Structure 1
Amino acid sequence: MRRDALSQIKSSATTHAGLWLDRFLPKAGADDQTKAKASLVEEVAGLKVPELYNRVYERWKASLDQDDIMCREATVQGRMIVGLGNTSPIETSICLQHTYGVPYIPGSAIKGLVAAYARQQLGDEWAKGSETQAEKPLNAYQTMFGHPESAGYLTFFDALHIPNSSQPLAIDVMTPHHMSYQQGNLQAPTDFDSPNPVAFLSATGSYLFAIGGEKAWVTAAFAILEKALLEYGVGAKTSSGYGRLKLAPLPPDPLEQFKNDLERLPQHQYNNQIGRFIDRCKALQDSKLQVKAATFILEKVRNHPRAKDLLTKPRFTELITFIEQNS
């Protein structure tokens, strides 16, 4: 009765992909189940991202704009499937946000991937060690990921799909060729066995990764994550090439770039060029960055042979006042 009632409902622009996948499998006889499942997969893959999700994503991204959180975008190189073995009426599943039905990568999966790569590729300092007794002092692995006696230094956030980076879901197919043999029957597989295509959903597009904690450890975690995403992959079927993502390069640090350019400024060009650096200092978006940049300028000037004369000029007295007022 309920299945008959659901068959009258049609998908729309606001349809939730996860709800549709879990509840709207078409009614079919035993011989048509494969076609019914393939039809459902095709329908879910064609659903659009809810418009509300764009606003939710921007609000979530703004909440990560903190000094102790680093964010980086990563793009799927092909296809990705996280949560393939989760409970599903079509026997294959995928990790979708409960509220909006958009694919994402759980923070637990990201942490597990980084931890696995660290254990297997980075040497003795990254050994997991005893699960009941912490190292004294803690080694790098237990410091980053935690231990029953000590919380880890880092927070691994869920990686959300970046709106408009692609249609997030796609149709995929796996084709077992020897079903009888793979189900444990004694009959040996042969070239006469019939292939059995099975449709399932995979994810595409770009995702925003975020890790929070002490800057040096966050930087180290992203360095490990970058290699792990390319070499190991995240989610299911990684041995078949699924789940590879490429992190976008980090944007240049404006303060570091400012400091490097200032260091290259010859002393004989101070009078002509220092005003340009003061303008760059004022153009920085954050007052904390402005104070640090102004401090770099004053340190540079104080090492000049004519420092006493230069520091009495209005442009430098203004910098000194600005630092005192904002420090």
Structure 2
Amino acid sequence: MKVSNLLQNTIKIFEKDMKNTNLFSLLSSSSIVCNSMYVFINNLGKYSILDVGIEEKKNLLEKEIAELVSNNFKLHNEIVKYFANLKEILRSFKYIIIDVEINTKTRTLVGVSTSLGRLIFDSGISFDPYMNLPYIPASEIKGIVRSYIEDKLGEKEAEEIFGNEEREGNVNFTDAYPVKAENFLFVPDVITPHYNEKKSEADAEPKPAIHLTIAPKVTFRFLIYYKREDVGKPICESLPLVIIRGLGARSSVGYSLFELSKIEVIR
């Protein structure tokens, strides 16, 4: 009975004003209820006579929350205004800007070790509480672009563009935010870990894990800006090849794959 009550209370938190609530605050507040439930469940786990149906209730909780977020979380227009304002500011400082849009080809995971959603799903997503949106950190985009240029042009050329521990680089990246979604922004997903080395029969049994992912056909946008003309060419040439390699987690098994849909240089 106690588990059922906690389950119902958690779902009610998500159902109330889901469309107008900051997702970061929503998941944080509901995590208090979830934590109470998990502590209770773990304590019950010590007593096999009480353990019937506990795992099913946990899975039901995760499934309900994931579906509520997927069906109700919507993009807002503020992010379009953000990029328009940012471009004007950068142009006023005489920066050359590369305006980039990329589309998710597959379900995408970025920031799986971050805090948002981990208490509920054991897998997080990079999320900006101020923008109320998931995002791809600028450091991740910059890192894979630098790695590609370093492999192609050499370490010295990469340091000239991106800098090193002693000198600031000549190019900057913004975080990438979703600006358009064909259907949903988030979709639930299930992974089923298999354990090769089992300590017991219970450990060997695969257990499905429900979590949130960013949906396919979501457009992310970010800006690259610099003042030296010679920086632009290697950056623009690298982007189409870099983006298809994937951004985020598990790209080697088909997650987090992108395609480049727009690249515009603004002087």
TM-score by length of 2: 0.74
CA distance in structure 1 between the aligned counterparts of 2:100 and 2:158, rounded to whole angstroms: 22
Matched, 1:149 2:160: no
2:111 partner letter: G
Q: Helix, strand or coil: the match of 1:247?
A: strand
**Once the two structures are superposed, what CA deviation does each residue of 1:113-140 show, in whole Å capped at 9, x if it has no partner?**
2123334x41xx423xxxxxxxxxxx21
Counterpart residue number, 2:28: 22
In 1, Cα distance between equivalents of 2:134 and 2:243: 17
Task: Give the SS at the match of 1:81.
Answer: coil
| Whole-Å separation in 1 of the counterparts to 2:112 and 2:163 | 27
Q: Which has the higher strand share?
A: 2
Mapped pair 1:243 → 2:266: no
The residue correspondences of 1:300-319 to structure 2 (distance < 5 A) are none
Name which of 140, 145, 150 aligns with 1:109: 140
Equivalent in the alignment of 1:160: 177
Question: What secondary structure, in the 3-state scheme, does the structure 2 residue paired with 1:199 have?
Answer: strand
Deviation track 1:259-309 (CA, whole Å, cap 9, x = no partner) reads xxxxxxxxxxxxxxxxxxxxxxxxxxxxxx9xxxxxxxxxxxxxxxxxxxx
Local SS of the residue matching 2:187: strand
Change beyond 3 A, Cα 1:226–1:200: same
Q: CA deviation at 1:166?
A: 4.1
In structure 1, stretches of 5+ residues that fail to align are 128-138, 254-288, 290-327
Distance in 2 of aligned mates of 1:248 and 1:8: 39
Letter aligned with residue 16 of structure 1: N
Residues 211 and 14 of structure 1, relative CA distance in 2, 3 Å threshold: same
Superposed, 1:241-280 pairs within 5 Å as 241-250=254-263
Deviation at 1:8, TM superposition (A): 5.0
8 A Cα contact 1:79 1:203, kept in partner: yes
Written as runs of structure 1 = structure 2, the 5 A alignment for 1:1-327 is 9=13, 10-25=16-31, 27=34, 28=37, 30=41, 31=54, 32-49=57-74, 53-65=76-88, 66=91, 67-87=95-115, 88-90=118-120, 91-119=122-150, 121-122=151-152, 125-127=153-155, 139-178=156-195, 181=196, 185-186=198-199, 193-204=204-215, 205-213=218-226, 214-231=228-245, 233-250=246-263
User: Given that residues 172 and 201 in structure 1 are in contact (C-alpha distance below 8 angstroms), is that contact kept between their aligned partners in structure 2?
Assistant: yes
Larger radius of gyration: 1
- Aligned-partner Cα distance in 2 for 1:45–1:18: 14
Residue 102 of structure 2 aligns with an amino acid whose one-letter code is A
Report the residue type matching 1:15 in the other structure.
T
Rounded to whole Å, the distance in 1 between the matches of 2:145 and 2:111 is 18
How far off its partner does 1:20 sit?
2.3
Name the SS of the counterpart of 2:167 in structure 1. coil
Provide the C-alpha distance between the structure 2 equivalents of 1:216 and 1:21, rounded to a whole number of angstroms: 45
Q: Do 1:20 and 1:44's aligned partners in 2 also have CA atoms closer than 8 Å? A: no
Residue 5 of structure 1: how far off its partner (Å): 7.3
Taking every aligned residue pair, what percent have the same amino acid on both sides? 21
Give the unaligned 5+ runs of structure 2: 1-5, 42-53
CA-atom RMSD in angstroms: 3.0
When residues 250 and 6 of structure 1 are mapped into structure 2, their CA distance, relative to the original with a 3 A threshold, is: closer
Residues 78, 244 of structure 1: 8 Å contact kept: yes
User: What SS is found at the alignment partner of 2:119?
Assistant: coil
Whole-Å separation in 2 of the counterparts to 1:44 and 1:226: 32
Alpha-carbon distance in structure 1 between the residues aligned to 2:241 and 2:159: 20
Cα gap change, 1:160 to 1:7, in 2 (>3 Å): closer
Q: Say whether the 8 Å CA contact 1:229–1:243 is kept in structure 2.
A: no
Residues 146/252 of structure 1: CA separation in 2 closer, same or farther (3 Å cut): closer
The answer as to whether partners of 2:22 and 2:129 remain within 8 angstroms in 1 is no
Distance 2:59 2:243 in 1: 33
In the aligned structure 1, how far is the partner of 2:181 from the partner of 2:191? 27
Residue 82 of structure 1 contacts residue 95 of structure 1 at CA under 8 Å; is this kept in 2? Answer: yes
Calculate the TM-score normalised by the size of structure 1: 0.62
